Amino acid sequence: MESRLVEYFADEFNKQVGNGFDVRKFPKAMAKLKKQVKRTKEILSANTAAPISVESLYDDRDFRSVDSKQFLKFFLSMSVFMYLYIFFPTAMLHCLIAC
């Protein structure tokens, strides 16, 4: 789950920067983002919303966003749905072939 959130916020940062930039190519920036996502997730366990903020994420560019429990629940439910959508038919196919 945490890695999916990191990917989501990496995409958001890439959109802010533009020009085809991909923060995933820079391990130090991704480590900063992962650390902040973990903190934000912990804050959301007790609050309804939490800011995600990383100063100088890459090339002196700050990243700021707001995450909410509602978004987190939606994001997780969609992740589970996509997993089931991909995994379940494959499992059923293997079961039918094996039976």
- Segments making up each domain of the chain, as ranges: 2-98
- SS3 state of residue 99: coil
Domain over 2-98 is classified CATH 3.40.190.10: no
pLDDT score, position 88: 59
pLDDT score, position 70: 63
Exposed e or buried b for every residue in 5-24, given b needs 16+ CB within 10 A? bbebbbeebeeeeeeebebe
Tokens 């959109």 belong to: 15
Q: How do the pLDDT tens digits run along the chain, 99 residues long?
A: 678 888 888 988 999 898 889 999 999 999 999 999 888 888 877 777 778 889 999 888 998 887 666 666 666 666 555 555 555 555 555 555 665
> Full-prediction pTM beyond 0.85?
no
